[in-house]
Structure 1
Amino acid sequence: MKIRIGVVMDPINSINIKKDSTFSILLESQKRNYTIYYMEIKDLYIYLNKAYSNTKIINIQKDKKKWFKIIKKKTILLSKLDIIFMRKDPPVNMEFIYSTYILEKAEKNGTIVVNKPSSLRNFNEKIFSIKFKKFIPETLITSKKKIIKNFIKKNKDIIIKPLNGMGGHSIFRIKKKDKNFSVIVETMTKKETKYCIVQKYVKEILNGDKRIIIINGIPIKWCVYRIPKKGENRGNIASGGKVKLKKINKKDLKISKRIGKFLIKKGIIIAGIDIIGNKLIEINITSPTCIREIENFYKVSISEMLLNCLEKKILKKNIK
């Protein structure tokens, strides 16, 4: 069966193919001779209660100078696609939310959407982790300066970050007697009008922020340690963190399996969870990264595992 796969992502001409996880998925799709339909959020639309998109059928190649080629442009009914990957990077703004309603129409007509549109709306990546309270550091979500002040009095050393950021942007560490406390909080909360997430500082960040990939509820046994450069509190690769790869330990495996069971129930096929020490920090479901880092180091294809899983779902759907 010829599989038609759609991908909604940021502009493909701007990606870094050495690190881009979506590119890895597209390479595997190309290897399987799928027809690949590339889209951006602005291309999606609804007409007469049906979901459509202006697409570009593309070919992919592992060439750092020219990694894609447009074969032709085509407007399609989204329900004609077998699989659609929603891989638009945060922020999860209103345009992102609107696009999930469009994708949901395709899903209701039989297309497999990864990840499930309603779950992309319902589970903010920063807030998601509080569902697993026994695994997380002490956490606060608020826009109020006084509440944050009481939190730092208790915990002495905290991290504050926005709810819709990525790549380590706008993450601040504040200690109890920091003279910049007021200005940081006022800036982050836009003078108490924007929510932020505040967590007790986990000192194990110096050893690395671990990214664990979960496919169809099952954690990949290798994880990426993102180690902060000297003088930094952020391990994110986008913020200059160094990368090491290791097998996940027993504690991380326990956390991952517990989260994996929940993800399956919510139609989340691929996720990336972040753990510092033995504390769960985030559950990334919009466009989880670090697939390329693992695939480049070990003789394992996460993209192959992912597409094998989806092909089984297509086969099961067609048998019904």
Structure 2
Amino acid sequence: MNILIVADPLESFKIHKDTTFVMMRELQRRGHALAACEPQHIHWRSGGVVTASVRAVRLTGEANAWFEVQSEQALALKDFDAILMRKDPPFDSEFFYATHLLEQAEREGARVFNKPRALRDHPEKLALMEFPDFAPPTLVTRRDADIRAFHAEHGDIILKPLDGMGGTGIFRVKADGMNLGAIIETLNQGGATSVMVQRYLPEIVDGDKRLLVIGGKPVPYCLARIPQGNEVRGNLAAGGKGVARPLTERDRAIGEALGPILAARGLLLVGVDVIGDKVTEINVTSPTCFQEIQQQTGCDVAALFVDALEAALM
């Protein structure tokens, strides 16, 4: 099959940990042809079909020059057997427009994973609000008074921007309320920007677990991202330590409850973030942690993903 990867520039990949890289490696190992482009390379002219300037690539197996470009040309997206949308967050206006172009390509016959509409319908911070039984007490608001009331009720809270990634912009405010006003001003920008507020979960000391759900089924291992030093954030990008673990009974129950619902909406790959026994985020744009789990447990997550992709295309 011919597979198109829509992602950040290949030259920017850190292949020792990049999930899209191991997806590509497994696809090539199985004999599938690879091409790549960035969202800005997709275009649509009136009266025509959605097209992109794509590079046909082959992985070399080398650590430095890890891919080679075999050709470069404009091709209709509908002519690929599958398109993997793997552009990293943030979900900004350009990402939003890219999903519309990809959805038009779907109408022309393209198969896109994760589905563009599902990407738009599941903002990664807001998506968990649909599943209150699994989430901690959570508030989304622009209002200063709402946040202060939530803090008064719960005492120890986490505040974060809805469009953050990698742990950026996350604050903890304890019962003393120190700097709450300044943090609200920073995040909600005078009421112009929505903020997510959650009750602090002390189980974060044991890790912010990334559960991967592929084709509606949980991968048997998760990656616990453990905060280091005095840091409250477990995100690897914020210095957290990643430790792979077997799923607990509760982890598996979460994956089995949410997985089929999300898969039915066109989300082939989902990253569910769990602290203790509570879901804190549902990641759908470009979930990661494949390599960390495989390196520590031997579980070939990329192979599980390609199995699910091939099954979806049958």
TM-score range, shorter-chain basis?
over 0.9
Residue of structure 1 in register with 2:184 after alignment: 185
Aligned pairs for 1:1-320 within 5 A = 3-47=1-45, 48-315=47-314
Which runs of 5 or more structure 2 residues have no equivalent in the other structure?
none
| In 1, Cα distance between equivalents of 2:132 and 2:207 | 21
Secondary structure at the residue paired with 1:211? strand
- SS of 1:168's partner is coil
Q: 1:155 to 1:36 in 2, by over 3 A?
A: same
State the one-letter code of the partner of 1:137. Answer: P
Cα distance between partner residues in 2 of 1:12 and 1:313? 26
Deviates most, 42-51 or 78-87: 42-51
Shift, 1:62, TM fit: 3.8
TM-score scaled to structure 2, two decimals? 0.97
For residues 129-183 of structure 1, what are the alpha-carbon distances to aligned partners after superposition, in whole Å with 9 as ceiling and x for unaligned?
1111011110000111111000000000000011111111111001232331111
- Distance, in Å, in 2 between the alignment partners of 1:229 and 1:178 is 23
Unmatched segments (≥5 aa) in structure 1: 316-320
Alignment deviations for residues 41-100 of structure 1 (CA, whole Å, 9 cap, x no partner): 100011224110001111123433111111110100000001101111111011101111
Residues matched between the structures, number: 313
1:190 partner SS = helix
Q: Secondary structure at the match of 1:18?
A: coil
Counterparts of 2:189 and 2:61, CA distance in 1: 43
- Give SS of 1:282's match: strand
Q: Which amino acid counterpart does residue 33 of structure 1 have in structure 2?
A: G
Counterpart contact for 1:274–1:282, Cα < 8 Å: yes
Is the CA contact (8 Å cut-off) linking 2:78 and 2:111 kept in structure 1? no
For 2:127 and 2:8, locate their aligned partners in 1 and report how far apart those are by CA, in whole Å.
23
Check whether the contact 1:27–1:61 (CA below 8 A) recurs between aligned residues. no
TM-score, scaled relative to structure 1: 0.95
Q: Distance in 2 between matches of 1:126 and 1:260?
A: 17
Following TM superposition, where does structure 1 have runs of at least 4 consecutive aligned residues deviating by more than 4 angstroms?
none
1:18-59 Cα shifts (integer Å, max 9, x gaps):
111100101111112222111101000112241100011111
Which residue type is aligned with residue 189 of structure 2? K
CA distance in 1: counterparts of 2:237 and 2:60, whole angstroms: 24
Structure 1 Cα separation of the partners of residues 16 and 132 of structure 2 = 35
